[in-house]
């Protein structure tokens, strides 16, 4: 909804300035927290600044970007981040689709459940991260005991196993993000006219046929757009892998967010970390552009 | 409803409850562990032998946890108030006036919501350190202000859009100014939404982790998520105490959720708040 113009007569200056004055504090916060830091990161990424060697930044040209392309560990983190992102979104869809279909009924239980399902999304990472660590703990963890009974875990927690840690944290990441997808899919499902299903039932379509010819086409755009939004969030993950494993064991769960954090706080190379941020932002810009185009097409 | 579809509906309801319990199990487990004695937890028995509040008594007797609790309340409270004070006029401006650059300003505010905190972490940390403001609650408060502000502006704009302008016009004819009409007519009508966005802002700040981790190192300015990390001392800690700490951090989120479920769903669909 857009506001109507109040009048067409010329207004006194006070009236013209008023809307700007009202919105100014919000714009200042946006500038201070987003725009200025982004420009500063760009400038920083061209500096030569390694706290152990030179305590003040000097112009370094492309030095950080050259180092970044030569950094084998960072390349591994880069590809791992794509696995992480695609894996997280895949888990989100795999969990959300059956849940949304199950919750798309008008009973009191279904309504209550579609509200409570939001809890993983709204709960702080720190609580969920420690909760899952507790479940997976090799000495006291209930889930660890369960996995052990099926021969899926040894005596040590699977979070210590480089081959398993990434998969399990991707699953947890997808579990946390899933409610947002459920919510979007429920909205899309509710907008499908019931007559379509009735007509299909008269034509003798099987449930599977109804799903593939009516339900899926009606929700696939939502799935794609929300998948992109969730993918962008996943690409920037830091909290969950940090709280669960600090990027380990070895570097099995080191995604780019963790590489960047370690570049500043462990290696004391803020300019290099800024260059990583810039590369991540460039990828984000492409993804946002894509999602915008998709929204327009819809 | 015929007999067969009623049974089908009941079966699906039961399935829904079972699936819900399974999905929420990790959260339920945190709550259960927080009231079980350590001996129970160590034996991995599923049936609690007794209920205890010792873990809560334990964390609330810890000075560092109490300091963190105070800091989180302080930061979250100021963030909530400032978010409301900044978001209400901004939303009113975007909703009620047409002016040059309005759409761009609206986009700019929404775009900050899309920007993940990790993306601007490095420059923000460098700027705040060079201002000498690392390890201050002021810096943390200011950065936390950005967490909920965009969604607050957009939610409130939706609510203000829904208030008929005629109500304000009537008040203006009676002699009040535009701002007077906003205070007297529109604000009281959207009060539930104002309370909701304030609460969102509080909860987002309360559970925020990465900015606090990057900006805060000294014990006296730690917030609760950092204090929970400290509780998890790898050499001597009790899972019960850590889970009790988790419950303390989770509690306002659950409360918010129960109170403002509808507004929360509205906010999620409006742009997607960060988890």
Residue A14 pLDDT: 60
Distance from C-alpha of A256 to C-alpha of A259, rounded to nearest angstrom? 5
ipTM: 0.91
Chain A interface disruption, residue of B102, B126, B206, B208, most A CBs within 10 A: B126
Length of chain A: 298
Of A126, A134, A265, Cβ closest to residue B209 = A126
* Residues of chain A predicted below pLDDT 70: 1-14, 298
Helix (H, G, I), strand (E, B) or coil at B37: coil
Contact assignment for B122 to A33 by CB distance below 8 Å: no
Contact assignment for B23 to A117 by CB distance below 8 Å: yes
| Close Cβ partners of B167 (under 8 Å, ≥ 6 residues apart) | B185, B186, B189
Of A20, A34, A236, Cβ closest to residue B99 = A20
Contact at 8 Å (CB) between A172 and B275? Answer: no
Residue B267 pLDDT: 65
Residue B81 near chain A (CB below 8 Å): no
Contact at 8 Å (CB) between A220 and A236? Answer: no
Q: How many Cβ atoms are within 10 Å of A190's Cβ, its own excluded? A: 10
Q: CA–CA distance from A255 to each of A258, A273, A280 (Å)?
A: 5, 13, 11
Q: How many Cβ atoms are within 10 Å of B199's Cβ, its own excluded? A: 24
A141/chain B closest Cα distance in angstroms: 7
Distance from C-alpha of A59 to C-alpha of A185, rounded to nearest angstrom? 49
Quickly tell me which residue has 């399935």 as its tokens: B15
A65/chain B closest Cα distance in angstroms: 16
Q: In chain A, what residues touch B26 (CB-CB under 8 Å)?
A: 120, 128, 131-132, 135, 175
Alpha helices (H) along A203-238: 207-210, 216-235
Contact at 8 Å (CB) between B240 and B230? Answer: no
Chain B interface disruption, residue of A1, A33, A263, most B CBs within 10 A: A33
Residue B138 pLDDT: 95
Chain B interface disruption, residue of A2, A13, A15, A29, most B CBs within 10 A: A29
Residue A231 pLDDT: 93
Contact assignment for B143 to A33 by CB distance below 8 Å: yes
How do residues A264-297 score in pLDDT, each as one tens digit?
999 999 999 999 999 999 998 888 888 778 777 7
Element (H, E) at A55: strand A54-59
SS3 content of chain B, % helix, strand, coil (to 5): 80, 0, 20
Report the CATH number of the B56-271 domain: 1.10.3720.10
Residue of B nearest to A115 (CA): B261
Contact assignment for B15 to A102 by CB distance below 8 Å: yes
Of A103, A105, A274, Cβ closest to residue B122 = A274
Helix (H, G, I), strand (E, B) or coil at B177: coil
* Residues of chain B predicted below pLDDT 70: 1, 45-46, 266-275
Number of CB pairs < 8 Å for A and B? 272
Contact at 8 Å (CB) between B249 and A127? Answer: yes
Contact at 8 Å (CB) between A231 and A89? Answer: yes
Query: With a CB-CB cutoff of 8 Å, which residues 48-77 of chain B face chain A?
Result: none
Q: What are phi and psi of A56, to 5 degrees?
A: -120, 145
Question: How open is the CA angle B120-B124-B126, to the nearest 5 degrees?
Answer: 125
pTM value is 0.91
According to CATH, where is 1.10.3720.10 located in chain B? Answer: 56-271
Half-sphere exposure of A90 (CA within 13 A, CB side): 9
Contact assignment for A19 to B99 by CB distance below 8 Å: yes
Element (H, E) at A261: helix A256-265
How do residues A38-86 score in pLDDT, each as one tens digit?
999 999 999 988 887 777 888 888 999 999 999 999 999 999 999 999 9
Residue of B nearest to A24 (CA): B90
Of B15, B94, B269, Cβ closest to residue A23 = B94
Sorted by where each starts, the structural domains of chain A and their CATH numbers stand as 71-297 (1.10.3720.10)
Residue B229 near chain A (CB below 8 Å): yes
Residue of B nearest to A175 (CA): B23
| Close Cβ partners of A289 (under 8 Å, ≥ 6 residues apart) | none
Residue A4 pLDDT: 45
């Amino acid at each position: 909804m857009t506001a109507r113009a109040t009048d067409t007569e010329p207004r006194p200056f006070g009236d013209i300035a008023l809307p700007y004055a009202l919105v100014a504090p919000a714009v200042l916060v946006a500038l201070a927290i987003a725009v200025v830091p982004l420009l500063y990161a760009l400038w920083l990424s061209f500096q030569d600044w390694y706290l152990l060697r030179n305590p003040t930044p000097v112009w370094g040209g492309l030095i950080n970007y050259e180092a970044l392309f030569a950094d084998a560990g960072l390349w591994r983190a880069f590809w791992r981040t794509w696995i992480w992102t695609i894996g997280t979104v895949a888990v989100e869809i795999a969990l959300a689709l059956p849940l949304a279909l199950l919750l798309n009924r008008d009973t009191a239980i279904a309504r209550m459940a579609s509200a409570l399902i939001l809890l993983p999304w709204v709960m702080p990472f720190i609580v969920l991260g420690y909760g899952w660590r507790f479940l997976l703990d090799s000495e006291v963890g209930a889930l660890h005991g369960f996995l052990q009974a099926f021969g899926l875990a040894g005596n040590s927690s699977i979070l210590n196993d480089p081959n398993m840690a990434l998969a399990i944290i991707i699953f947890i990441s997808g579990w946390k993000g899933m409610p947002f997808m459920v919510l979007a899919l429920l909205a899309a499902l509710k907008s499908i006219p019931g007559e379509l299903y009735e007509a299909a039932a008269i034509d003798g379509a099987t449930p599977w046929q109804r799903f593939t010819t009516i339900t899926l086409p009606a929700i696939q755009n939502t799935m794609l757009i929300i998948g992109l939004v969730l993918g962008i969030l996943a690409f920037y993950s830091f909290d969950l892998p940090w709280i669960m494993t600090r990027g380990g064991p070895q570097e099995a769960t080191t995604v780019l967010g963790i590489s960047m954090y370690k570049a500043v706080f462990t290696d004391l190379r803020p300019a290099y970390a800024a260059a990583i941020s810039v590369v991540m932002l460039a990828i984000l810009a492409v993804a946002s552009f894509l999602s915008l185009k998709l929204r327009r097409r819809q | 409803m015929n007999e067969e579809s009623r049974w089908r509906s009941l079966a699906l309801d039961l399935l829904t409850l079972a699936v819900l319990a399974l999905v929420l199990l990790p959260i339920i487990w945190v709550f259960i562990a927080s009231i079980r004695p350590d001996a129970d937890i160590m034996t991995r028995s599923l049936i609690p032998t007794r209920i205890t509040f010792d873990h809560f008594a334990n964390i609330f007797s810890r000075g560092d946890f109490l300091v963190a609790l105070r800091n989180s309340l302080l930061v979250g409270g100021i963030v909530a108030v400032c978010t409301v004070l900044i978001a209400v006029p901004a939303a009113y401006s975007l909703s009620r006036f047409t002016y040059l650059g309005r759409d761009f300003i609206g986009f700019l505010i929404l775009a900050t919501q899309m920007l993940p905190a990790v993306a601007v972490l490095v420059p923000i940390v460098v700027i705040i350190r060079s201002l000498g403001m690392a390890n201050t609650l002021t810096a943390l408060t200011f950065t936390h202000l950005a967490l909920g502000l965009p969604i607050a502006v957009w939610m409130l704009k939706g609510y203000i859009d829904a208030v008929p302008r005629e109500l304000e016009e009537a008040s203006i004819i009676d002699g009040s100014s535009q701002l007077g009409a906003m205070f007297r007519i529109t604000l009281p009508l959207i009060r539930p939404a104002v309370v909701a966005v304030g609460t969102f802002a509080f909860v987002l700040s309360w559970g925020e982790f990465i900015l606090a981790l990057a900006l805060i190192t000294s014990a006296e300015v730690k917030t609760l998520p950092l204090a929970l990390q400290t509780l998890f001392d790898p050499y001597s800690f009790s899972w019960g105490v850590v889970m009790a700490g988790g419950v303390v951090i989770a509690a306002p989120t659950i409360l918010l959720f129960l109170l403002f479920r509808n507004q929360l769903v509205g906010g999620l669909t409006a742009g997607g708040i960060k988890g």
